[in-house]
A and B are shown apart, each in its own frame.
Chain A
Amino acid sequence: MIHEFDAVIVGAGGAGLYAALEASKTAKTAVVSKLYPQRSHTGAAQGGIGAALGNVEEDTPEWHAFDTVKGGDYLVDQNAAKILAEDAVRAVYDLENRGLPFSRLEDGKIAQRRFGGHTHHFGEGAVHRSCYAADRTGHMILQTLYQQCVKNDVQFFDEYQVVDLLLEGTTVKGIVTFELKTGELHIFKAKAVLFATGGFGRMFKITSNAHANTGDGPAILARAGIPLEDMEFFQFHPTGIRGMGILITEGVRGEGGILKNRDGERFMERYAPTLLDLAPRDMVSRAIMTEVGEGKGVRGDRKIDDYVWLDASHLGREVVEKKIPDIADFCRTYLGVDPAEEPMPVQPTAHYAMGGIPTDVDGRVDTGKQVYDGLYAAGEAACVSVHGANRLGTNSLVDLVVFGRRAGMHIAEYVKSASHGSVTEADADRARQRIDALRHRKGGRHVGPIMHRMQEVMMEKVGVYRTQEKMDQAVEEIRQLREDFKEVAVQDTGAGFNSEVLQIMELENLLDLSLITAASAANRTESRGAHAREDFPDRDDPNWLKHTMAGLDNDRVTIDFKPVDVSIWEPKPRKY
């Protein structure tokens, strides 16, 4: 079946929904999502959205932009960071005006809290910049944007999994999707397609990400020959629930929570004397892994799954129940720990892809050498780049509302003058052959063992601390797993609601992105932001102040580069 729209938005998280609201003002727009709306992982974001409102103390977008650049270890494109910080203020007001229930200050204004790496006067001290709704800020953003889509009658295609991109040269003409309900392939013919498919943390064993975060958009684009940017930079959030990876917001530390090692020592004093526990995430995660490596983890066995304490008990019950109620609930449910009474056991958890689909500041896919007309990306799937080598807390929500909106606005203009490409049923053949092949392999492998091995390899060999030897091993092992994957077969031969087919395609996407991530990481012989190498411990600006552009050519990853915009602030050593 062929559906015709001006614009198709793939993904119904914050970026996709915001883009849909904007695009649908002029363009006939469809939102296609593999989940029901409101299930997307934007809803799991907790601590807040950064914007220099100055509701608590003096603040400026310029300081926010600077913090973003410094936080990203100067791999951030600086004009993009400026746009991010300036648009953030307008975006937060817009969300509030659309009903978002922010927590409030005594004077009735939007409440703001401190967050990692966010400072006043270019690093002098922590600033109250994170606008929050308790510890459910992402939930509120997702709800509010979906409510607005209901109000504006945006058209949704729920449980349609994107499986292929249709290009005519370098101009988009549509996508192919798999409808879960029927197992049929639907082509969406469109002048503009936006990929807002979110992250891909499920390539790691311990992750805060949803099972659905399998990087479908970036993987499809990589297979279509579009290189992905800065894939070696994957953020490990310092405070995931031990063993499970469930996120414990940085907002806990923003409210005064403290990290402690087995001796009860506040070890961040030794790593970041000014910002302490509110240093950027890459530094705090490394500090934790260093403590663990020195036998100062709680168990003290120096293994990578040892953990430390996050203590919020001194904040008192009222603060815990009011400011971090969901965290308290998670801890009680999954750990049997009451954070108002006892410390929480935490370990770094794979959290956020700084890299992804390369775009300009209007969401257009732009590799630096080629702009793809009508093709857009936004949110975690995209790399603008505003996060560089390490994203600051709260900037993911800023990214998706700022650039989701900007992409939607650009699409609304673009479709006015663009024309449709030519699309026929035969355009679904490539996807159909892939799925038929899965269905007709006999006696094949299950997805489970391959998925688990991939997650272990990525966690152990492309984790917080990296070496050439381990990353090279990871590349080889992932290559082998991609071979093993060719023997995975579907057991479920039914047509309707066959979620097994989806899971297999998701695993394929993760394997492709794992290979690109490991190869990009193995290639960068310096340490910068989240890419921390024991064998190259220093940042190397003369050789490596550049974005990686990694293409997928069957089982080879091709590496190219793109310059970084450093037009405002000169790169300096990063101290907190």
Chain B
Amino acid sequence: MKVTLAIQRFNPETDSEPHVQNYQVEVEPTHRVLDALMDITQNQDGTLGYRRSCAHGVCGSDAMRINGREKLACKTLFKDLEIEEGGTLEIEPLRHLDVQKDLMVDQSTFFKKFRSVKPYFVPKAAEPEHGEFIQSPEERALFDEATKCINCAACYSACPVLDKNPNFVGPQAIVAAARFVNDSRDQGLEARLDALDQKDGVWPCESHFECTRVCPRDIKITKLINLTKRQIKKYRDARGEQTAEERAQ
């Protein structure tokens, strides 16, 4: 069927404002939105800018806003968009990150926040001389959800809190921290308390659940954020200390 992709375009080298450009493409219901974008750049207009790699939802390169919702272009099929012959699909870059060109956004702030939570293993015990740390399947299950993250930034774009507080560390960074906080082999919360228990850490989250709704990996992000909040509270309570949120009140 023939559909129109209405793509928001912006080239900072030449444009003062973003504008929308329409492209006609022939697609099958089982085609991915990425297939249509590639058809445009390979056969119609080589100037359109976007990122892509794996094309099946595991590398996190092609998150964008499709009809106003954050999605991976390679994991979104036309048949799932309720679009009909002659219909139009609106495509925009992610929010909360500066546009570099068309659908490409500058991810440096996003990755800086990711790095701020110590998103790496800080072992509790000395490494075993030979062999492995032991971890039960139940302990392993406690952080499984968070290991699925592919850093695509869909949640970061969807988060309403970032509209008013651009300094909020954001949903993805908290997921990255939770991956280690809940790993029985890791020093956990203690190693990441400074980054999480501060005014722009976990506390600005208002549980809008937008991150959870858009996550292409089906991670229950809001739940993880609230769990982290409770863990911080418990940690502080046990020491007779206040959380950053309590101190601010």
A residues with a Cβ closer than 8 A to B are: 35-36, 38-41, 43-44, 93, 96-99, 101-110, 133-134, 136, 139-140, 143-144, 147-148, 150-151, 181, 210-212, 244, 246, 326, 329-330, 333-334, 446-449, 451, 490-492, 494-500, 503
A104, B218: Cα distance in complex, Å: 22
Q: Is A136 touching B148 in the complex (CB atoms < 8 A)?
A: yes
5 nearest CB pairs, A to B = A99-B121, A448-B42, A147-B120, A108-B134, A497-B101
- Chain B 38-54: CB-based contact to A (< 8 A → 1; otherwise 0): 11011101110111111
Contact of B53 among A212, A330, A503 (CB under 8 A): A212
Chain A residues within 8 Å of B58, by CB: 43-44, 139, 326
A472, B38: Cα distance in complex, Å: 31
Q: Is B120 touching A449 in the complex (CB atoms < 8 A)?
A: no
Q: How far is the CB of B80 from chain A (nearest CB, A)?
A: 8
Q: How far is the CB of A274 from chain B (nearest CB, A)?
A: 31
Say if the beta carbon of B147 comes within 8 Å of chain A: yes
Say if the beta carbon of B151 comes within 8 Å of chain A: yes
The B interface, classified by DSSP as helix, strand, loop or mixed, is loop
Say if the beta carbon of B150 comes within 8 Å of chain A: yes
Given A43-B58, A503-B41: A96 and B120 within 8 A (CB)? no
Q: Is A96 touching B45 in the complex (CB atoms < 8 A)?
A: no
16 A-B pairs with CB atoms under 8 Å apart are: A40-B53, A101-B144, A102-B132, A103-B137, A104-B136, A108-B137, A139-B147, A144-B121, A326-B58, A446-B43, A490-B46, A494-B13, A494-B14, A496-B11, A496-B100, A497-B101
List which B56-79 residues lie within 8 A (CB) of chain A.
Answer: 56-61, 75, 77
Given A104-B137, A139-B150: A93 and B132 within 8 A (CB)? yes
Q: Is A500 touching B46 in the complex (CB atoms < 8 A)?
A: yes
Q: Is A492 touching B59 in the complex (CB atoms < 8 A)?
A: no
Chain B residues within 8 Å of A140, by CB: 147
Chain A residues within 8 Å of B77, by CB: 333-334
Q: Is B183 touching A101 in the complex (CB atoms < 8 A)?
A: yes
- Using CB atoms, name the residue of chain A closest to B137: A104
A226, B131: Cα distance in complex, Å: 40
Say if the beta carbon of B220 comes within 8 Å of chain A: no
- Chain B 121-149: CB-based contact to A (< 8 A → 1; otherwise 0): 10100011011111111011001100110
Chain B residues within 8 Å of A134, by CB: 144
A106, B130: Cα distance in complex, Å: 20
A210, B38: Cα distance in complex, Å: 13
A214, B45: Cα distance in complex, Å: 21
Chain B residues within 8 Å of A334, by CB: 30, 56, 77
Say if the beta carbon of B55 comes within 8 Å of chain A: yes
Chain B residues within 8 Å of A492, by CB: 46-47
Contact of B56 among A44, A98, A496, A499 (CB under 8 A): A44
Given A39-B53, A105-B137, A147-B121: A449 and B43 within 8 A (CB)? yes
Q: Is A36 touching B120 in the complex (CB atoms < 8 A)?
A: no
A465, B194: Cα distance in complex, Å: 60
Chain B residues within 8 Å of A139, by CB: 58, 147, 150
Q: How far is the CB of B102 from chain A (nearest CB, A)?
A: 8
Q: Is B137 touching A106 in the complex (CB atoms < 8 A)?
A: yes
Contact of A447 among B42, B57, B134, B139 (CB under 8 A): B42
Say if the beta carbon of B185 comes within 8 Å of chain A: yes
Given A38-B150, A496-B100, A497-B49: A210 and B60 within 8 A (CB)? no
* Pair count A-B, CB < 8 A: 160
Question: For the side of the interface on B, what is the size category?
Answer: 35 or more
Say if the beta carbon of B119 comes within 8 Å of chain A: yes
A93, B55: Cα distance in complex, Å: 31
B residues with a Cβ closer than 8 A to A are: 11-14, 30, 38-39, 41-43, 45-47, 49-61, 75, 77, 100-101, 104, 107, 111, 115, 118-121, 123, 127-128, 130-137, 139-140, 143-144, 147-148, 150-151, 180, 183, 185-186, 218
Contact of A499 among B49, B130, B151, B185 (CB under 8 A): B49
Q: How far is the CB of B69 from chain A (nearest CB, A)?
A: 15
Chain A residues within 8 Å of B127, by CB: 97
Q: How far is the CB of B98 from chain A (nearest CB, A)?
A: 12
Given A136-B148, A150-B115, A495-B13: A104 and B61 within 8 A (CB)? no
Chain B residues within 8 Å of A333, by CB: 57, 75, 77
Best-buried of B13, B58, B148 by chain A (most CB within 10 Å): B58
A498, B50: Cα distance in complex, Å: 10
Contact of A491 among B46, B61, B130, B185 (CB under 8 A): B46
Best-buried of B56, B75, B134 by chain A (most CB within 10 Å): B56
A181, B186: Cα distance in complex, Å: 37
Given A491-B47, A496-B12, A503-B41: A150 and B134 within 8 A (CB)? no
Q: Is B119 touching A150 in the complex (CB atoms < 8 A)?
A: yes
Q: Is B183 touching A211 in the complex (CB atoms < 8 A)?
A: no
A257, B67: Cα distance in complex, Å: 38
- Using CB atoms, name the residue of chain A closest to B40: A448
Q: Is B137 touching A210 in the complex (CB atoms < 8 A)?
A: no
Q: Is A93 touching B61 in the complex (CB atoms < 8 A)?
A: no
Chain A residues within 8 Å of B186, by CB: 99
Chain A residues within 8 Å of B218, by CB: 329
Q: Is A210 touching B55 in the complex (CB atoms < 8 A)?
A: yes
Q: Is B137 touching A38 in the complex (CB atoms < 8 A)?
A: no
Q: How far is the CB of B124 from chain A (nearest CB, A)?
A: 11
Q: Is A211 touching B43 in the complex (CB atoms < 8 A)?
A: no
Q: Is B140 touching A97 in the complex (CB atoms < 8 A)?
A: no
- Using CB atoms, name the residue of chain B closest to A35: B53
Q: Is A143 touching B147 in the complex (CB atoms < 8 A)?
A: yes
Given A96-B132, A99-B120, A101-B147: A38 and B60 within 8 A (CB)? yes
Q: Is A210 touching B53 in the complex (CB atoms < 8 A)?
A: yes
Chain A residues within 8 Å of B12, by CB: 496
Q: How far is the CB of A310 from chain B (nearest CB, A)?
A: 17
Q: How far is the CB of A16 from chain B (nearest CB, A)?
A: 15
Contact of A133 among B49, B147, B150 (CB under 8 A): B147
- Using CB atoms, name the residue of chain A closest to B61: A39
